[in-house]
Amino acid sequence: MPLAIAFRIESFDELASTQSELRRRLEAGEAVDGLVVRATRQTQGRGRRGRTWTSAEGGSYQTLAVRDPAPPALGRGGSAVAVAVGMAAAFAGYGVRLQVKWPNDLHYRGRKLGGVLTEYVRGHLLVGVGINVANEPPEGGIALRGWDLEGVHGAVLAGIQAGLDGWLDRPGELPQRFAAVDALARTEVRLAVGDGEVHGRAAGIDADGALRVETAEGPVRVRSGTVLAYGDGAPG
């Protein structure tokens, strides 16, 4: 059954981070289910693993909070991958063919267009998405120049809903749906995992979103890591 998300949107000119703002409110006891916090710019935008997400005016920056209907269903591994897959489906409807670089990068024409950040807090999933639109993308990135920002905001929310619905209703199908948009498929990858590195050939994901890597020593599953290089040696 689809998640019944009653979207409520609050927009701000400037926030430190839409993700941090929703987290703060949730931790303060506010009822945030269905709340979307949007900002024109963020001064301390957050990426995965404590990285900074540059958030100048012109981009799309928003976070949605969804209460888990059957805890810990939304807290399982794979939420960011599932949302990224939903994002690819939503943007395909506008003729934009996104690829997902495991686990949470949204690529367009081989370059990073945006990213997904998920956090499970107090029985809620916080889903933050940033997309380059009219802002200057970071080096090596790409933007949806000329796109209507409101249209992008809407496509992102549709993508989050599609991704979470598919993941909750048919969790076993995630590997197959990911395969259709997998930017790393069958390429040589080098990953930072914990204190070490994993080298090998990327071979899709498991149902819990872990990356499968065929290494010289045999198959390895990477639950959490960072792609350092892939394919022709492109930086991760």
Binding site for ligand BTN (CB under 6 A): 17-19, 42, 45-48, 51, 53, 61-63, 104-105, 115-117, 128-130
Both tokens assigned to 51: 């990285």
Residues 17, 45 contacting (CB under 8 angstroms): yes
Specify the residue, 124 or 200, whose C-beta has the smaller distance to ligand BTN.
124
Task: Give the tokens for residue 71.
Answer: 């805890």
Q: How far is the CB of 50 from ligand BTN (least distance, A)?
A: 9
Question: Positive or negative, the Cα torsion across 150, 151, 152, 157?
Answer: positive
**Least CB distance to ligand BTN at residue 42 (A):** 6
**The residue type at 16:** A
Supply the minimum distance, in Å, between the C-beta of residue 201 and ligand BTN: 24
Shortest distance (Å) from residue 52 CB to ligand BTN:
9
Q: How far is the CB of 219 from ligand BTN (least distance, A)?
A: 27
Q: Decide whether 113 or 198 has the Cβ nearer to ligand BTN.
A: 113
Nearest distance from residue 36's CB to ligand BTN, in Å?
10
Cα-Cα end-to-end distance for the chain: 36
**Is 17 or 99 the residue whose CB approaches ligand BTN more closely?**
17
Kindly tell me which of 25 and 48 has the beta carbon lying closer to ligand BTN. Answer: 48
DSSP codes joined into one string, 138-167? PTTB---TT--HHHHHHHHHHHHHHHHHHH
> Which CB, 45 or 137, lies closer to ligand BTN?
45
- Nearer residue to ligand BTN within complex by CB, 51 or 221: 51
Q: In the chain, what are the helix, strand and coil shares in percent, each to the nearest 5? A: 25, 35, 35
Q: Tell me if 211 sits within 8 A of 205, measured CB to CB.
A: yes
Cα 90 to Cα 3, 93, 106, 225: the distances in Å are: 16, 5, 12, 26
- From 115, 147, 120, select the one nearest 131 (Cα to Cα): 115
> What tokens appear for 92 in the block?
């395909």
CB of 105 to ligand BTN, least distance (A): 6
Nearer to ligand BTN, 62 or 135 (CB): 62
Write out the H or E segment, with its range, that includes residue 34: none
